Structure 1
Amino acid sequence: MATKRMRPSGTWEFIIRRKGILPKPLSLTFDTEEEGDAYVRRLEQMLDAGILPEDLVARRSELVTVDDGIRSYMTKVSLPDSDVSLLNALIGRWTGQALTGVDYQWAEGWVKSMKRKDVMAPSTIRHYVGALARCFDWVVRSGTPSLATNPLRLLPKRYATYTEEDSAAVRAQDKTPKEDEHRDRRPSANEEKAIRRILDGEKAENRQRRAELKYRPAMVFLFELGIESAMRMREMYTLDVTQVDVGRRTVFLDKTKNGSKRQVPLTTVALRAFEDYVELVKGGDAEMDGFNFDGGLLFPWWDGSRDKKVLAGVSVRLSGQFGRIFDAAGCGDLKFHDLRHEATSRLYERTSLSDVQIAKITGHSDTKVLMRYSNLRGSDLAVRLW
């Protein structure tokens, strides 16, 4: 319970103490006792539940809990949308957890919980750990005495891979352990031809009628751009016409997944596909259903909203549409994101660019991640041997 007293001035002072949540007693002043009682009652209910109101976080001189660190980090640092989403999901997971208690055992226990309780895929575990590790790096650099070192950086390699004990614990719940799968699916030359035939409006041999493709020219161009540029789907369908520089054969991306800007060079194939698409749109092609470039957007599916739900909705619809196209072409296990994998692999196969140079094109901030995309075909490597 809070203690209270009336000051000589007639105002009321309330003192609130909560070990582990408040670094020191909190003093609040109110004009009347009734006003103070009402406010403090609500505040204590929240503190008892381990919740610290945002206005109190701003008053505190140091970061105390994990949630403090996450909220402060998200407020003061410009983050990519992917990290924002991950950190928002973590807020409240450790209600009242003091940063002073965040050590290696805590980090190891969290990873074990994601495997044995949540049964997450190793890649998902790495995403969560990576986002919080970057947050804790910032907390450590901020100089708070609550967290001197970042224990997440001490986790061993392959920490996200399920051990035999992890797998046994998961199976005991009648669940299946998740394996670390790195996709290396690439479309073959025949599959590419089959996909282009479907995009051109041909009927698949195993179908009774042609696929219905609204904005077909845009679908054709998006496919060509994806397999030639290594851009992500969202990076492409949110493009503005002015971001494409034909003279310099580049696309300037000012909003990417990891928050950095980059220029993407265009192959002659991608440039020709762009020019063909622009000509069709400006010529009022009937299959574009009245879409034009007056609004500045290059593609017709997105309305310019940065709302995450809107963007996610567009991505889901396009992924589903291309999934049906790939299925009709006889390669139903192919995903649109595999085109980025294919384009990146081609950069390794067809150029002498270094890892760093290719990373600048693809936007990979970690070359270790980039190497997962560079699965060169064994047959292509074999012909280079003596």
Structure 2
Amino acid sequence: MANKRLRPSGTWEYTIKRAKLLPKPLSLTFQTEEEGDAYVARLEQLLDAGIVPQDVVEQRDGIATTSDAIRAYLRRVSVPDSDVQVLNALLGRLKEKALTAIDYAWAERWVAGMKRQDHLSPSTIRHYVGALARCFDWVVRSGTPMLAVNPLRLLPKRYATYTGEDRIAVEAQDVEAREDVHRDRRPDVAEEAEIRRIMAGGKPTGRERAFELPYRPALVFLFELAIESAMRMREMYTLDVDQFDVGRRTAGLERTKNGSKRSVPLTSVAVAAYERYVDAVTGLDPEMHGFSFDCGRLFPWVDDMEASMRAENMPLLRQKVLARVTSRLSGQFGRIFSAAGCSDLVFHDLRHEATSRFFERTTLSDIQIAKITGHTDPKVLMRYANLRGSDLAARLW
């Protein structure tokens, strides 16, 4: 049994002696007796089984709190960019907590707080919980006695949806409860044609002149590639030239949102759009502002943004560069869509459209379509498959 004592500072000190397992007595300090008892109980269970966690033996790089866990996870594990962003945000949002105090009650309180105090949307809550759950999975697998079970994996289905009690608590603050809304916006034929006309240099209705679109051929190709391949915006504009294989009609993605590789097959329409774009670049189209494929990139925006940030003496952090490129492109397409009469359309809706077309126009199975789109959760994939009711009706007798 460990010896414990209350120190003058108000903290609790525990001393564990296991001559056959520990090279020297282990001294640990905790803010509360409850946290200390919980930690030591878990540690002694492992020691009784002859298991000595490496972090405990070395007594360095210890993972004792939620912040410790997140930082260690980001440092030691290859984490997808999407999780990096979410976990870095949690470092600022999540109140520091000892891992010994992380249990199911804490998980429920955290989720309730995100609804009733922060008024976050259900999708944002799922992003936060999912990223932290994957971090905690790693902590549990690492063998530290600080966290024996991941309580986030015990949350019930629809945990992010606002319950009746959540609504009462939120509405008492004169705030409207957030709905769990899944986008199902798809451009119709007329909208799609108008978008293409404006991108080709046509004058939008109600305007005296056409839009000035920097790198217009690249924007047109990005639009066509998105609506034909279901690739995400960042997956496309970070492509290198050698990742686009016209002979095999594939685009090889090295690092996706989910952190995995995938090969995206290309339709004949996407290949034709690529060939037109290549002709514009190699033909020194003035609208491409001197961009060439010599840099190795398929699109100009990343290098262009890096040059802009370098001129402002800003550090070229990859996440900052990509975030700025995404923001710039989203803004450009937002203006184009608005001028085309579909201001509620966003670029990511093109991924919805492309995925739905795979269901409507091919005989590919759900698994095959998921291989193309990169979805790992069948439920998420089905949310993208927003089949038009009229198309389904046409197949009936």
Q: 1:96 to 1:378 in 2, by over 3 A?
A: closer
The Cα of 1:75 is off from its aligned counterpart by: 2.2
Query: 338, 349, 360: which is aligned to 1:327?
Result: 338
The equivalent residue for 1:281 is: 281
CA RMSD in angstroms comes to 2.4
Quote the offset at 1:317 in angstroms: 0.8
In structure 2, what is the equivalent of residue 100 of structure 1? 100
Alignment of 1:83-232 (within 5 A): 83-91=83-91, 97-232=97-232
Change over 3 Å in CA distance of 1:306–1:269 after alignment to 2: farther
Matched-pair identity in %: 67
| Aligned mates of 1:167, 1:264 — CA distance in 2 | 43
Partner of 2:263, secondary structure, is strand
Change in 2 beyond 3 A, CA 1:61/1:75 = closer
| Residue 340, structure 1, aligned to residue 351, structure 2 | yes
Report which stretch shifted further, 109-118 or 350-359: 350-359
**Cα distance in 1, alignment partners of residues 387 and 67 from structure 2:** 43
- SS of corresponding position for 1:135: helix
Q: 1:5 is matched with which residue?
A: none
Q: Deviations over 1:106-131 (max 9, x none)?
A: 11100000000110000000000001
Q: Distance in 2 between matches of 1:57 and 1:329?
A: 64
2:264 match: secondary structure: strand
Aligned to 1:364: 375
Cα offset, 1:66, TM superposition: 2.2
The answer on whether the counterparts of 2:86 and 2:131 sit within 8 Å (CA) in structure 1 is yes
Unaligned runs of 5+ in 1: 3-14, 25-54
2-side partners of 1:293 and 1:198: how far apart? 26
> For 1:341 and 1:58, how far apart are their aligned partners in 2?
50
The alpha-carbon deviation at position 62 of structure 1 amounts to 5.6
Q: 1:113 to 1:58 in 2, by over 3 A?
A: farther
Cα offset, 1:132, TM superposition: 0.9
Q: Is the 8 A contact 1:67 1:92 kept in 2?
A: no
Residue 180 of structure 1 aligns to a residue whose secondary structure is coil
SS of the aligned residue for 2:338 comes to helix
SS at match of 1:206: coil
The 1:250/1:58 distance shift into structure 2, 3 A limit, reads: farther
In the TM superposition, structure 1's runs of 4+ consecutive aligned residues that sit over 6 Å from their partners are 21-24, 55-58
1:310 Cα offset (Å): 1.2
TM-score (norm: length of structure 1):
0.84
Question: 2: distance between equivalents of 1:19 and 1:209?
Answer: 67
Distance 1:190 1:92 in 2: 45
Whether 1:317 aligns to 2:328 is yes
Q: Secondary structure at the match of 1:333?
A: coil
Structure 2 CA distance for partners of 1:207 and 1:95, relative to 1, 3 Å: closer
Q: CA 1:106–1:243 in structure 2 vs 1: closer, same or farther (change >3 Å)? A: same
User: For the Cα contact (< 8 Å) 1:199–1:220, is it kept in 2?
Assistant: yes
Question: Do 2:121 and 2:180's aligned partners in 1 also have CA atoms closer than 8 Å?
Answer: yes
Letter in 2 for 1:315: T
Matches of 1:247 and 1:105 in 2, distance apart?
Answer: 56
Counterpart of 2:244 in structure 1 is 244
- Larger displacement relative to structure 2 (134-143 or 369-378): 134-143
Task: Measure the CA separation in 2 of the matches of 1:94 and 1:278.
Answer: 47
Aligned length: 345
TM-score with structure 2 length normalisation? 0.82
After superposing the two structures, state which structure 1 stretch, 273-282 or 353-362, moved more: 353-362
- 1:313/1:278 CA distance change after superposition, 3 Å: same
Paired position in structure 1 for 2:389:
378
Distance 2:215 2:96 in 1: 52
Residues in 1 aligned to 2:111 and 2:178: alpha-carbon distance in whole angstroms: 14
Whole-Å separation in 1 of the counterparts to 2:108 and 2:393: 43
Cα separation, partners in 2 of 1:192 and 1:71, compared to 1, 3 Å: same
Contact 1:199 1:325 in 2 (8 A): yes
Residue 82 in 1 paired to residue 82 in 2? yes
Matched residue SS, 1:91: helix
Instruction: Give the Cα separation in 2 of the matches to 1:202 and 1:261.
Output: 38
Residue range with higher mean Cα deviation, 115-124 or 163-172 = 163-172
Distance across 2 between alignment mates of 1:217 and 1:16:
63
Paired letter, 1:359: A
For the 8 Å contact 1:57–1:68, the answer to whether it is kept is no
Q: Do the aligned partners of residues 96 and 228 (structure 1) sit closer, same or farther apart at CA in structure 2, a change above 3 Å counting?
A: closer
Q: Is the 8 A contact 2:56 2:62 kept in 1?
A: no
1:270 is aligned to: 270
CA–CA distance in 1 between the matches of 2:317 and 2:261? 17
Q: Deviations over 1:11-30 (max 9, x none)?
A: xxxx9844458879xxxxxx
| Deviation of 1:385 (Å) | 1.4
What is the Cα deviation at residue 324 of structure 1?
Answer: 0.8
Distance 2:222 2:28 in 1: 59
One-letter amino acid of the counterpart of residue 159, structure 1: Y
Equivalent in the alignment of 2:313:
none
In structure 1, distance between residues paired with 2:244 and 2:68:
42
